[in-house]
Structure 1
Amino acid sequence: MSLAVDADQQALAESVAAFARKIAPLSQTREHLSDYAAGTMPTEVWTALCEQGLHALHLPAAYGGDECGLATLAVAVEQLSTALFPGPYLPTVTASALAMAATDAQALLTAFGAGMTGSVATGPDLLATRDGDGWVVSGTSEPALGLPGAQRVVVRAAIDGDPEVSLWFWFDPADPSVPGSEVPAVRLTIAEAVDLTRSVGRAAFDAYRVDPARVLDGIDAAPAQLWTTTLAAAEATGICRWCLDTTVDYIRVRNQFGRPIGSFQAVQHKTALMLVRAEVASAVTWDAARAESQPAEQRFLAAASAALTALPAAIDQAVDCVSMLGGIGFTWEHDAHLYWRRAIALAAGVGGEDAAARELGERCLRADRDFAFVTAETLPALRATVGAVLDEVLALPDDEIPTAGWAPARGASRRARLAADGLVAPHYPPPYGLGAGPAEQAVIAEEFARRDLTQPELGIGGWVLPTLIEHGDDEQRARFVTDTLLGKIIWCQLFSEPGAGSDLAGLSTAARKVDGGWVITGQKVWNSQAVEADWAVCLARTDATVPKHAGLTYFLIPMDADGVDVRPLRQVTGIWEFNEVFLDEVFVPDSQVVANPGDGWRIAVTTLSNERLAMGSATFGHGSSALVRRLLESGDHAGTRDDAVRVLGRNAALELSVAALNLRNAVTRMNGTPVGNSSGNSVRKVWHAIAQRDASRALVSVLGPRAAVGHPEQPYTFDFLGLPAILFGGGTIEIQLDIIARRVLSLPR
């Protein structure tokens, strides 16, 4: 759950966490709250931090720094925030990062490298005007973290009132007067801070004449916004982590009604959602940090996404923590309110959710976020090999045969060529695929995209084949795997039943043993692709005398077998995409049992895991930014354009957070770092469903009366009506929350 994604960053995280616990325990911080509010702090705390070099991790080596970059600095910020490290660390490293972006800031960087504290003062009321060869600044800043007590202050003022054109400069609060004047040109005032562990204040400039030597030329808006937002978001992820850990520890031991409250399902689900929220905040912040080396537009997109996702998440996390703690969490003595206060202050400092939504929406009208994690130079030999095969494929006729509904196309010559070289499912082990890891898969995907070729889709076969490869016998693999890759076999899954949907082990479809095989009778429901499918994987009860999980067997059934009756189900959209399947004395030979009788549950878990992975990694569908852009382009919405732009921003943030979760998981694996269960399939499946639920609802909210008009004139309401397919498929949100609560958080039963 940390921002650390490789071994070096993990080692740094552990070191910083241990340092914070030792140097600034919360009990000690509480004793000095009045000092921190006034901008002073125990000298030994800041001195110890500087001795560790934590203030200069990102600074150039010439100024005593380690040149570690934004991603590594964010790891340190996160760990210090988890410990609620007090004082001016965040405003200081933010100010020094801005100084790094200037073309010439030697004096300022020297001061920061030596351990000077800093702050950043901005605001729409700060105005800069030309005065001869220099500048004069007037106006009052917004509340600035760490301003009282800061030894160096970086300031941004709008030139001639234009917010798009800024003057950056710095001043020393110990000498703020206009040269030659006895009247102070800068007045610093201390405000009552919401965050009790840091000072907050305003700077009022009265015709302040800027020393030309202190002008910071060259600070572009993109890196300034990225560093400022990402570092604040890193603190937010630390808050999310502390709130989750504190909640879990408490609900495991707090008893009500004779048992731990952590055993109550409502409490478990709420806590599991806290874990999901923490993972999402971490992924989005990590994505923002990696944007440091990307073009300006990508930096803006990543920063706005983090502002709209990670910072509000910390507030919600803290509120949930307090509510789960109950009365004790609402007391002054408990530390929860200190984290809540910091979360509020962080979000306020970045500018608020509406502003971030508006900016992200406008940015998304001009560019898409780049989630590539390989370059054109990555794995050149693989690129050349794959490229040669794909060039041959392009020369073949595009002869795939489309099917109805969600079923994949049936393959022909192009699919055969791809399958021969392991490119239908390159992540499968040889001889079916290439055993491709994340980097290899990304390179292959780029080569497909470069030629405007779509990678083959296996549908439910993509869940079934890994099961057969792992658990099937040689005959079953030979019979089914290659033909599925070739597009000759389409699969469906006969698991759910009218009386046992998410309670898979409670199914009643029964199989009785006969000579040479089994006879199956029962009813299945919500079966995607069953009309088009050639084969099905079916779970049936073969032993009613053992515990329900132990009596299940995994069968392979041809859909044209005697006794199989498929009946399409019409959904609320008016479309037939699901089916119910009746099995009436269907004979299945022993050769079509996977593994052994009674192994069904263990094997089904493999299939379901692949299902959750596929759905958690799927392209964002309902409420997608593409749909909102289409709505904006048509102008067919109620309210103002600004209303629709903010919906685009919020929906894009949800979409980007899903992509960031998936990419971070892939990069972590590629780095060889163990991926904990908290980053697993259930977390991504839950968030994928929640994100699409919220996004499709938001899209409908801006339609006004037009929401009453349906397809084909207006597809947006039908996008919302089709949402349950995502909410139910692969296990409902609630079932996944059960898995997270019990298997990941180990909450009591």
Structure 2
Amino acid sequence: MSIGISDEQAELADSLRKWAASLSPLAAVRAAEGEVSACFADVWAAADEMGIAAIAVPESAGGGGGSLLDQAVALEACAHELVPGGLLGATIGSLLTGRPGRYGVQVHPGGVVWDGGALAADPDRLLLLDDGGTVTSEPGLDLGSRHARLAGGAAASTDERRRLLAVTLAAAEASGVTRWCLETAVDYAKVREQFGQKIGAFQAIKHLCAQMLETAESVTAAAWDAAGAATLHDTDDSADADAQWAFAVDVAQAICFDGAVEVAKACIQVLGGIGFTYEHDAHLYLRRALSLRALVGSADAAAERLTAAAVTGTRRRVDVDLEGRDEAIRPGVRTTSEQIAGLPAAEQRAALVDAGYLTPHWPAPYGLGADPATQLVIDQELGRAGVVRPDLVIAGWAVPTILAHGTDAQRERFVRPSLLGELTWCQLFSEPGSGSDLASLRTRAVRVDGGWSLTGQKVWTSVAERADWGICLARTDPDAPQHKGITYFLVDMRSPGIEVRPLREITGEALFNEVFLDDVLVPDDCVVAEPGDGWKLARTTLANERVAMASARLTKSVERAVELAATRDLGPVARTEVGHQVALATVGGLLGVRTTLRALGGHGPGAESSVAKLLGVRSRQESSELVVTLQGDDLALLGPLGKESDDPLAADVWEQLNTRCLSIAGGTTQILRNVAGERILGLPR
């Protein structure tokens, strides 16, 4: 998925990629190697005719009248094909002057003149910060660009708007470079054979490509957000709009350019020897990525600015525009939400259930069958009224399966009591020998009079010690293939033959349990669907997925790191590390916002929804570890661990240790990368 989310922007990106490819841009880049005078004339003439660099310039000035986000989509598409000749400088200059044309732009005082190499003799087209001096063309690392050197000028003050524009648009180019590198590596891994099979089937290659996907989605999200913040800034000249755009730009600078370089390098690694040859195009994209990173400046400097902004209270806020779809429903939702808020706390849950607001995406009578826009309005209005929905925990997984595949009697028996909190559920899936490899489970179910007898051992079972019911997978046909002979049971946790033993974890607490089943009777009316359907049911989600009101807020440990930066003299290195975690957590939230916007547009979840979990795990683990590291040798004088400990450091260490489970629970990070490689990127099994 490119920067653009709307159908119109997706069509723009697709048409521009095709147009750019028709220009044979890479042939032009190779033909101009070493040439520092006027070059790429044919490509530039075509770009000028298309008005690529002036998409966001007002129509009254000869531009396209589009948004800055539209402009970013166009630059990303052109960078995907490595269109040469100075689009970046031309776009920045056209936006700064309000006049479409070719420009060389000095973004940093004393720095390089971006895309000024072919314009050294045309001072009217050079937008310089320094006074005086001589502009000379210089060959550069990026064979598709012609930058220039300014010598002898007097240093001038920084133009902040110019810098923000430049980083915003350069991030869009970085996203295009990243996308090409990912696609090229994946396409090659699908066809290149070694040792008798496609290299994409090798787990090492699959994981490398999945990590490229994670980085590419992060780069895209950060570039998209910077362009979106710039678009809103064009209609809002408030100090808050300034701060939001600057924050989004610093996130992009911290994420996009290092990310583009890493993906370009990984592309060459997947390509192997052919990728290291001059004849292959991969090195041209690596050169562009390295050049962009050098032009925009240090990611660490951006990270330190993010820390400073976060300490003063700035957080990225991304508003979701419902485009009028909320106007007809919002008054009624607001009234109902306020009525629920006015009830005693003990009565609010039942009112949420009765209104369908606890699970609005579920079908009636347990929900509203609400579309994404209605779900978001309900989220907004409940939040505005101060109503907090209770967490269904495991019931949120068990009940949808019963709704979709259970009998009317099962729905009547289990759904409403679960919503009301009268029933607590646990999940009896994992076993000592089958964690991520769920299909290898060994708990057996044998047919007996009136039902089934279950015998086996389950592990890592949260809340089993207090659960009323458990959803359980057991093997009913030992002769069937692994995925075929499994059945989905609803198990009364008070049944004879069930023993629950707590498992003490590395935090010192016991949140998980082992569950032993010894000839546990499960009646026939507690089998969901048919025997043998269990594997399919275990992967069930309702067709009408829950759409959450995503935000780019920071996670608990990142907020704690910001608190430490505000209250301790951490030094520049540590403050930079905090800023990088601020950027990573913000991008994790942005991925969620993009998923929400895709749902509003009628599209299913894209790659960003899968990447968000992997990125979220990394963010929480890294930030919780950083929080402890920032406190130095105080760790040696630690009090008793506990999530709510009176000793802040003890609580911080508890969080660090507890987050180790995140890359294991719900499928290990390595297994999820296998899944991403196969199901998203299409790599062979």
With normalisation by structure 2, the TM-score equals 0.91
**Which residue matches 1:409?**
none
- Which one of 301, 304, 320 corresponds to residue 266 of structure 2? 320
1:621-640 paired onto structure 2 within 5 Å: 624-635=557-568, 640=570
Describe the shift of the 1:39–1:521 C-alpha distance in structure 2 as closer, same or farther (beyond 3 A): farther
> What's the offset of the Cα at 1:591?
0.9
Q: Would you say the 8 A contact 2:315–2:553 is kept in 1?
A: no
* Contiguous gaps of at least 5 residues in structure 1: 101-108, 127-140, 158-175, 177-184, 211-215, 400-412
Q: Would you say the 8 A contact 2:218–2:256 is kept in 1?
A: yes
Q: Would you say the 8 A contact 2:303–2:580 is kept in 1?
A: yes
Describe the shift of the 1:618–1:547 C-alpha distance in structure 2 as closer, same or farther (beyond 3 A): farther
Describe the shift of the 1:337–1:617 C-alpha distance in structure 2 as closer, same or farther (beyond 3 A): same
> What's the offset of the Cα at 1:683?
2.5
> What's the offset of the Cα at 1:339?
0.7
- Which piece of structure 1 moves more, 710-719 or 515-524? 710-719
Q: Would you say the 8 A contact 1:608–1:730 is kept in 2?
A: no
- Which piece of structure 1 moves more, 600-609 or 195-204? 600-609
**Which residue matches 2:69?**
71
Matched, 1:122 2:52: no
1:504-515 paired onto structure 2 within 5 Å: 504-515=438-449
Using the alignment, how far apart are the partners of 2:526 and 2:399 within structure 1?
A: 14
Q: Would you say the 8 A contact 1:229–1:307 is kept in 2?
A: yes
Matched, 1:706 2:639: no
Q: Would you say the 8 A contact 1:622–1:723 is kept in 2?
A: no
**Which residue matches 2:485?**
551
Describe the shift of the 1:27–1:48 C-alpha distance in structure 2 as closer, same or farther (beyond 3 A): same
Describe the shift of the 1:460–1:371 C-alpha distance in structure 2 as closer, same or farther (beyond 3 A): farther
1:394-405 paired onto structure 2 within 5 Å: 394-399=341-346
Describe the shift of the 1:572–1:616 C-alpha distance in structure 2 as closer, same or farther (beyond 3 A): farther
Q: Please list the CA deviations of residues 624-651 of structure 1 after superposition, one character each: whole Å capped at 9, or x if unmatched.
A: 321112223442xxx7343343232111
Matched, 1:368 2:302: no
Describe the shift of the 1:698–1:97 C-alpha distance in structure 2 as closer, same or farther (beyond 3 A): farther
Describe the shift of the 1:540–1:742 C-alpha distance in structure 2 as closer, same or farther (beyond 3 A): same
- Which one of 249, 254, 261 corresponds to residue 303 of structure 1? 249
Q: Please list the CA deviations of residues 8-34 of structure 1 after superposition, one character each: whole Å capped at 9, or x if unmatched.
A: 112111111111111133133211122
Residue identity opposite 2:523 in structure 1: P
**Which residue matches 1:458?**
392
Describe the shift of the 1:252–1:149 C-alpha distance in structure 2 as closer, same or farther (beyond 3 A): same
Q: Please list the CA deviations of residues 160-187 of structure 1 after superposition, one character each: whole Å capped at 9, or x if unmatched.
A: xxxxxxxxxxxxxxxx9xxxxxxxx430
Residue identity opposite 1:155 in structure 2: L
- Which one of 697, 718, 722 corresponds to residue 625 of structure 2? 697
**Which residue matches 2:337?**
390
> What's the offset of the Cα at 1:454?
1.6
> What's the offset of the Cα at 1:744?
2.0
- Which one of 647, 655, 659 corresponds to residue 589 of structure 2? 659
**Which residue matches 1:491?**
425
Q: Would you say the 8 A contact 1:90–1:232 is kept in 2?
A: yes
- Say which SS state the counterpart of residue 520 (structure 2) adopts: strand
Residue identity opposite 1:268 in structure 2: K
Using the alignment, how far apart are the partners of 2:457 and 2:375 within structure 1?
A: 39
- Which one of 116, 137, 142 corresponds to residue 111 of structure 2? 142
Residue identity opposite 1:559 in structure 2: M
**Which residue matches 1:24?**
24
Q: Please list the CA deviations of residues 333-384 of structure 1 after superposition, one character each: whole Å capped at 9, or x if unmatched.
A: 2211111111111122211111010111111222111133147976244332
Q: Would you say the 8 A contact 1:323–1:329 is kept in 2?
A: yes
- Say which SS state the counterpart of residue 722 (structure 1) adopts: helix
> What's the offset of the Cα at 1:456?
2.2
Q: Would you say the 8 A contact 1:643–1:702 is kept in 2?
A: no
Describe the shift of the 1:96–1:205 C-alpha distance in structure 2 as closer, same or farther (beyond 3 A): farther
Residue identity opposite 1:729 in structure 2: A
> What's the offset of the Cα at 1:478?
1.6
Residue identity opposite 1:332 in structure 2: Y
> What's the offset of the Cα at 1:439?
2.8
- Which piece of structure 1 moves more, 506-515 or 729-738? 729-738
Using the alignment, how far apart are the partners of 1:524 and 1:617 within structure 2?
A: 34
Using the alignment, how far apart are the partners of 1:337 and 1:709 within structure 2?
A: 52
- Say which SS state the counterpart of residue 33 (structure 1) adopts: coil
**Which residue matches 2:33?**
33
**Which residue matches 1:42?**
40
- Say which SS state the counterpart of residue 34 (structure 1) adopts: coil
Residue identity opposite 1:314 in structure 2: A
Q: Please list the CA deviations of residues 597-654 of structure 1 after superposition, one character each: whole Å capped at 9, or x if unmatched.
A: 000000101269999x99997998876321112223442xxx7343343232111111
Q: Would you say the 8 A contact 1:623–1:651 is kept in 2?
A: no
Describe the shift of the 1:433–1:154 C-alpha distance in structure 2 as closer, same or farther (beyond 3 A): farther
Q: Please list the CA deviations of residues 261-320 of structure 1 after superposition, one character each: whole Å capped at 9, or x if unmatched.
A: 211111111111111221121122212222121511111111111111122110110111
Q: Please list the CA deviations of residues 486-508 of structure 1 after superposition, one character each: whole Å capped at 9, or x if unmatched.
A: 11112111100001111000000
- Which one of 118, 127, 139 corresponds to residue 154 of structure 1? 127
Using the alignment, how far apart are the partners of 2:23 and 2:415 within structure 1?
A: 59
Using the alignment, how far apart are the partners of 1:648 and 1:297 within structure 2?
A: 19
- Say which SS state the counterpart of residue 357 (structure 2) adopts: coil
Q: Would you say the 8 A contact 1:268–1:738 is kept in 2?
A: yes
- Which piece of structure 1 moves more, 474-483 or 626-635? 626-635
> What's the offset of the Cα at 1:235?
0.9
Describe the shift of the 1:673–1:392 C-alpha distance in structure 2 as closer, same or farther (beyond 3 A): closer
- Which one of 118, 122, 144 corresponds to residue 197 of structure 1? 144
> What's the offset of the Cα at 1:392?
2.4
Q: Please list the CA deviations of residues 427-456 of structure 1 after superposition, one character each: whole Å capped at 9, or x if unmatched.
A: 222222222333323222222222333222
Using the alignment, how far apart are the partners of 1:487 and 1:92 within structure 2?
A: 60
**Which residue matches 2:238?**
none
**Which residue matches 1:173?**
none
Q: Please list the CA deviations of residues 505-538 of structure 1 after superposition, one character each: whole Å capped at 9, or x if unmatched.
A: 0000000011211110111111112223211110
**Which residue matches 2:198?**
260
**Which residue matches 1:164?**
none
Q: Would you say the 8 A contact 1:374–1:443 is kept in 2?
A: no
**Which residue matches 1:670?**
600
- Which one of 196, 219, 232 corresponds to residue 293 of structure 1? 232
Using the alignment, how far apart are the partners of 1:504 and 1:445 within structure 2?
A: 34
Q: Please list the CA deviations of residues 168-220 of structure 1 after superposition, one character each: whole Å capped at 9, or x if unmatched.
A: xxxxxxxx9xxxxxxxx430133341212111222235469x9xxxxx9xx98
Please, what is the CA RMSD of the aligned residues? 2.6
**Which residue matches 2:214?**
276
- Which piece of structure 1 moves more, 553-562 or 717-726? 717-726
Describe the shift of the 1:617–1:548 C-alpha distance in structure 2 as closer, same or farther (beyond 3 A): farther
Q: Would you say the 8 A contact 2:594–2:608 is kept in 1?
A: no
**Which residue matches 1:500?**
434
* Contiguous gaps of at least 5 residues in structure 2: 234-240
Using the alignment, how far apart are the partners of 1:730 and 1:618 within structure 2?
A: 23
- Which piece of structure 1 moves more, 250-259 or 541-550? 250-259
- Say which SS state the counterpart of residue 718 (structure 1) adopts: helix
Using the alignment, how far apart are the partners of 2:37 and 2:591 within structure 1?
A: 38
Using the alignment, how far apart are the partners of 2:612 and 2:107 within structure 1?
A: 37
Using the alignment, how far apart are the partners of 1:56 and 1:595 within structure 2?
A: 59
Matched, 1:477 2:381: no
Q: Would you say the 8 A contact 1:3–1:75 is kept in 2?
A: yes
- Say which SS state the counterpart of residue 364 (structure 2) adopts: coil
Residue identity opposite 2:71 in structure 1: L
- Say which SS state the counterpart of residue 606 (structure 1) adopts: coil
Residue identity opposite 1:203 in structure 2: L
> What's the offset of the Cα at 1:89?
0.5
Matched, 1:730 2:676: no
Residue identity opposite 2:168 in structure 1: T
Matched, 1:330 2:276: yes
- Identity among equivalent positions (%) equals 39
Q: Would you say the 8 A contact 1:2–1:282 is kept in 2?
A: yes
- Say which SS state the counterpart of residue 329 (structure 2) adopts: helix
**Which residue matches 1:2?**
2
